[in-house]
Structure 1
């Protein structure tokens, strides 16, 4: 399988990174300098407000917009401020986890092994832990979306290439995604042999699978240097502000996305190329030769025929290779995805056709969710299938297709209505929200009133004007199509109103006015403007 990473930074305002699998766009990341990105940054914050009803605090962290800190994201060490012993809280939590695991083993349902050392299950009230003005060390875990501020956490994590530094953890561990037991034990031994400082926690990332001790040591030293710099900044000032900023999109993507199966990384701008080269020399010296500089006359994304595909990403309907399509409709509450058979033709067996189409749709749905960066609740309406075995295979296919997604996902079983509901972690606004703004004509509805509907509104407004005896002249400005409808199909009603109200009505149409534009100017005998109640 051929896999490439293309990085386009020729335009200084925007950075685009595409991951191609067999020359097909599989992942896309876009970041603009005009849009501030806070996710991953660490700040010194100050509690400015407490909301006991939702067990949350609002934190000023120095960016001009308060962040949201929920009690579930408060690290147990802060419990001391409310007179609670963190060790006692964690001990109670571990006992509850063990009891729940025992019940699961006895019943045969649920998680049979207790997960200890995680976040506490029982937490004290947030109003007993914090007071207004308290200082707190926070990390942005989710960008602000719309009117909502960024989501914060006191569980700090700083990612390296193979390790994640987690100060609150206080121990070493291995990512659950590394499933090989022998490798898990080896990695844990390697990490312990490096003698990480007491009180700091480290987790081996999925990318750390199979890595040698020197590679882990290099990453450990890099993370410790970062942590020492953060500690110095914490001691240096008391004002809310940034203590650590995440790397730019290029370094982040190489650090988090790059894997051994990527054959080459191509960058089209020399300064960014040199920066990426320095980073690779520091953390992955073995793969520096896979980094290439594109200096051809043809733009990088045009050479790989990506521009047209990127333009199609936000289209509502996505055709499937063998026929049929999926229709994606993001709403305020959820993302609805509908699978349509369309011109799909397989065998004569309807059940088999539905199964084949659904399996193809599952792969494309996973790809589109990654490309569009859609998150929250997602409801998939597949073609109905009668066989239980087909429904189970479809669920597995969707889970397998989502397995490589960096965002956390949870997929439920098929509902009685034939829907597969799922959630996908949302860290920042979707790609569509990042590059589009709401249409000023329809305010994002995607629909405008018909010429007939607007004509009816004009007639209603004229009926109000007729009631005012001071009005002698009315000028109406509308879209061309609305004006044509009024002059052709509503002319008699307009003339009757002119006679009843003893006024002159002038209808002006313009192509430059949007379809719902309605401007009514009423004047008296002296040319003075007269307002009417609408």
Structure 2
């Protein structure tokens, strides 16, 4: 209950008292061993943790879920039970209210701000970095006033995105530089006020000389991104892959090592199309020199189906027997 207002504590107390009365009634009606209480499902937990008087309507598209949600609202907040509605349309609920697009926007790195400007959110192992960009945002001839107004808008959107994405840990917000100390304090206050609705505990430091506001947010569960996405098998979550040139150089080094193997006669390389094209066009001289010097035949095969860092090298002797390449077991690219 730390940092919660009296209203929130009173609401929680009222819920627990009503719940206890329901449990006592169930105990009185139960003759033998049986369940009197169990952890709520996702719909009930969502209503319990998120629903408030600020929400005008709660729409449910399944009869069973609607009945459970209505019963729970009657228990927790009886005066708001008329705000829940059963959706009976044929069109999927998410498409009717354009929720699919809104969900997709949550995962975008760049979030536009009203009136211009944007924030860019990057998550790393150590922290979450949020950068405020001015773009074409203009409200006044004064650069200071423009920066101040943009930062106010960004502070509200940052608080909203932290809740939507469920980002936790250390968060560094890089706002547009402001010279006036009063403007810095105002941005800090707006950020704190915008985070009051957040059930996760937050701690916000004062603006640093570099215009950074550092903060921490309680990590309750894995972020929304982690719940929806896995790391890319091609780049292992780096969001970048090696260029065709760098991959070709790596492949040439591996072919040289394979050619040094005793009895090596034929080397077949399977890589992505662009890497194969680079090897066949830009590295043809080195490959021919390797074939002559080590008396081996080299074949380069490319495929669009392979990811950019894929390397597969097959080495055979004159009789077609496979020669094991120990260096291929060592961790490198996407072998």
Report the Cα distance in structure 2 between the residues aligned to 1:228 and 1:274, rounded to whole angstroms. Answer: 20
1:400 alignment counterpart: 193
Report the Cα distance in structure 2 between the residues aligned to 1:229 and 1:478, rounded to whole angstroms. Answer: 66
| Partner SS for 2:289 | helix
Deviation string 1:433-487 (CA, Å, 9 cap, x unpaired) is 0111111111111111111111000110111123234111000000001001101
Residue 270 of structure 1 and its aligned partner are, at CA, apart by: 0.8
More strand by share: 1
- Asked whether the 8 Å contact 2:276–2:301 carries over to 1, the reply is yes
Deviation string 1:325-377 (CA, Å, 9 cap, x unpaired) is 11111111111111111222332321111111111111111111111010111
| Partner SS for 2:173 | strand
1:440 alignment counterpart: 233
Equivalent residue in structure 1 for 2:63, among 267, 270, 273: 270
Equivalent residue in structure 1 for 2:180, among 387, 409, 417: 387
| Partner SS for 2:98 | coil
2:305 is the alignment partner of 1:512? yes
- Relative to structure 1, the CA distance from residue 206 to residue 225 in structure 2 (aligned partners, 3 Å threshold; closer, same or farther) is closer
- Asked whether the 8 Å contact 1:374–1:430 carries over to 2, the reply is yes
1:282 alignment counterpart: 75
2:125 alignment counterpart: 332
| Partner SS for 2:6 | coil
Runs (4+) off by over 4 Å: 224-230, 242-245
Residue 431 of structure 1 and its aligned partner are, at CA, apart by: 0.5
Residue 391 of structure 1 and its aligned partner are, at CA, apart by: 0.6
- Relative to structure 1, the CA distance from residue 482 to residue 176 in structure 2 (aligned partners, 3 Å threshold; closer, same or farther) is closer
- Relative to structure 1, the CA distance from residue 256 to residue 362 in structure 2 (aligned partners, 3 Å threshold; closer, same or farther) is same
1:354 alignment counterpart: 147
Equivalent residue in structure 1 for 2:50, among 249, 257, 279: 257
Report the Cα distance in structure 2 between the residues aligned to 1:331 and 1:297, rounded to whole angstroms. Answer: 42
- Asked whether the 8 Å contact 2:18–2:76 carries over to 1, the reply is no
Gaps of 5+ in 1: 1-163, 165-173, 180-203, 209-214, 231-235, 237-241
1:132 alignment counterpart: none
2:223 alignment counterpart: 430
2:3 is the alignment partner of 1:178? no
Deviation string 1:295-318 (CA, Å, 9 cap, x unpaired) is 112221222122111111111111
Q: How does 1:18-417 map to 2 (within 5 A)?
A: 176-178=4-6, 205=9, 207=11, 216=14, 219-223=16-20, 226=23, 245-417=38-210
Residue 227 of structure 1 and its aligned partner are, at CA, apart by: 9.0
Report the Cα distance in structure 2 between the residues aligned to 1:286 and 1:417, rounded to whole angstroms. Answer: 49
| Partner SS for 2:131 | strand
1:12 alignment counterpart: none
Q: Which has the higher contact order (CA 8 A, sep 6+)?
A: 1
- Relative to structure 1, the CA distance from residue 353 to residue 293 in structure 2 (aligned partners, 3 Å threshold; closer, same or farther) is same
- Relative to structure 1, the CA distance from residue 376 to residue 207 in structure 2 (aligned partners, 3 Å threshold; closer, same or farther) is same
Gaps of 5+ in 2: 28-32, 328-335
The normalised TM-score by structure 1 is 0.57
- Asked whether the 8 Å contact 2:121–2:129 carries over to 1, the reply is yes
Residue 413 of structure 1 and its aligned partner are, at CA, apart by: 0.4
| Partner SS for 1:471 | coil
1:526 alignment counterpart: 319
Report the Cα distance in structure 1 between the residues aligned to 2:68 and 2:149, rounded to whole angstroms. Answer: 46
Report the Cα distance in structure 1 between the residues aligned to 2:260 and 2:283, rounded to whole angstroms. Answer: 19
Report the Cα distance in structure 1 between the residues aligned to 2:24 and 2:160, rounded to whole angstroms. Answer: 36
- The two structures, once aligned, show a CA RMSD in angstroms of 2.5
Deviation string 1:201-223 (CA, Å, 9 cap, x unpaired) is xxx72536xxxxxx94x852523
| Partner SS for 1:205 | helix
Report the Cα distance in structure 2 between the residues aligned to 1:228 and 1:498, rounded to whole angstroms. Answer: 86
